[in-house]
Structure 1
């Protein structure tokens, strides 16, 4: 029987460097002979791509509860069709965002009940939680400077005001404090190579 794989999620506000760290971690895992399934939410499946277009790029307003439900719908399909099959094969799932993002963005950011948002995602995924969540923590002002420097159009969440992003950061840190055995909190203001080495140290123990 194939051993169960490992599920890693990357979390944090917009502009903290999740894409960079995912690429570095994928390369490192590959060098260790691990098969990596790199994915994201929303958009890690065909259905998820359609939902991503609505929640991030729809020009009109989306009611906060509708937004939370759309993310949960994407999550239910994604876990069932991408994450669980990969773990059953023994692969490493390396995922950009999961339910912690919904708790932070739709819970704290949209001022919904974080516990209800979390319960919704757990129901949608049959209580699936990753083995480890890497939280890349960065002051929202510094993160916005990075986004501005990238000179790309902002999506619906990136375009929110400073107080929204401050609430999101606080929510992420609160989640990490509540589940220290699952979270690795990393200072994302540091050099990307240094951050990657810290993550690899934790992954070595996990793998």
Structure 2
């Protein structure tokens, strides 16, 4: 494959989606057909259907391992139907979340075990990892405060309303991933202003973006 695969990661309230939307607005105008975007869970009709089940706040009885398996299934579909075909056509693929999210949220947050989730997803992904991951690093309390202030009732999903201990376990798992993959995961300080975070992200992305300019 000759394209590049870049993922965005972060704990709840870190501003990942806000910055990602700003980045994509800029890149879509300059890169046109050289850019492909996706998200997890989701990215195509089958994976989006799985997403609805996972994030539905009514599914309070979902078993943690069921949740983990659904994420892995959606991820597999996204890879084979969306990501890899784009990479084979020399596209830059940017995805909102990927495997690191499952390791952090299900492995750490749900206490299933980070190794168990990683092993499960090795089967689902055939060991496929991003070329670059940008992680939005923010203390848990700051993220939850942002959620309370900025999201209305319709925007809050099943994971947003978890306990603070859950969110701390997720955050701690991300910190371990950063140490394990320092050559792949680049952290940005999400405590900064939106403009400063955006500038930091664009600096990290620029060498990759330059490869795909017409």
Coarse TM-score class (shorter-chain normalised): over 0.9
Find the counterpart in structure 2 of residue 49 from structure 1.
48
Contact 1:106 1:117 (8 Å CA) reproduced = yes
1:163 Cα deviation from its structure 2 partner: 0.7
Find the counterpart in structure 1 of residue 141 from structure 2.
141
Q: Partner of 1:33: helix, strand, or coil?
A: helix
Q: Partner of 1:136: helix, strand, or coil?
A: strand
Which residues of structure 1 form unaligned runs of 5+?
Answer: none
Which region of structure 1 is more displaced relative to structure 2, 99-108 or 14-23? 14-23
State how far apart, in whole Å, the 2-side matches of 1:61 and 1:44 are.
25
State how far apart, in whole Å, the 1-side matches of 2:149 and 2:191 are.
15
Contact 1:22 1:94 (8 Å CA) reproduced = no
Q: Partner of 1:38: helix, strand, or coil?
A: strand
State how far apart, in whole Å, the 2-side matches of 1:113 and 1:173 are.
15
Q: Partner of 2:54: helix, strand, or coil?
A: helix
Which residues of structure 2 form unaligned runs of 5+?
Answer: none
Which region of structure 1 is more displaced relative to structure 2, 109-118 or 52-61? 52-61
State how far apart, in whole Å, the 2-side matches of 1:125 and 1:29 are.
27
Contact 1:4 1:88 (8 Å CA) reproduced = yes
CA RMSD after TM alignment: 1.5
State how far apart, in whole Å, the 2-side matches of 1:75 and 1:151 are.
26
Find 1:164's aligned residue among 139, 163, 166: 166
State how far apart, in whole Å, the 2-side matches of 1:201 and 1:172 are.
22
Find the counterpart in structure 1 of residue 61 from structure 2.
61
Which region of structure 1 is more displaced relative to structure 2, 191-200 or 162-171? 191-200
CA deviation string 1:30-77 (max 9, x = no partner): 454362212110121111111111111151311111111010000011
1:28 Cα deviation from its structure 2 partner: 3.5
1:29 Cα deviation from its structure 2 partner: 2.9
State how far apart, in whole Å, the 1-side matches of 2:16 and 2:22 are.
10
State how far apart, in whole Å, the 2-side matches of 1:196 and 1:86 are.
25
Pair 1:125-2:125 in alignment = yes
Q: Partner of 2:182: helix, strand, or coil?
A: coil
**Structure 1 ranges of 4+ moved more than 4 A:** none
Find the counterpart in structure 2 of residue 20 from structure 1.
18
Aligned residues: 205
TM-score, with length taken from structure 1: 0.93
Find the counterpart in structure 2 of residue 189 from structure 1.
191
State how far apart, in whole Å, the 2-side matches of 1:31 and 1:194 are.
21
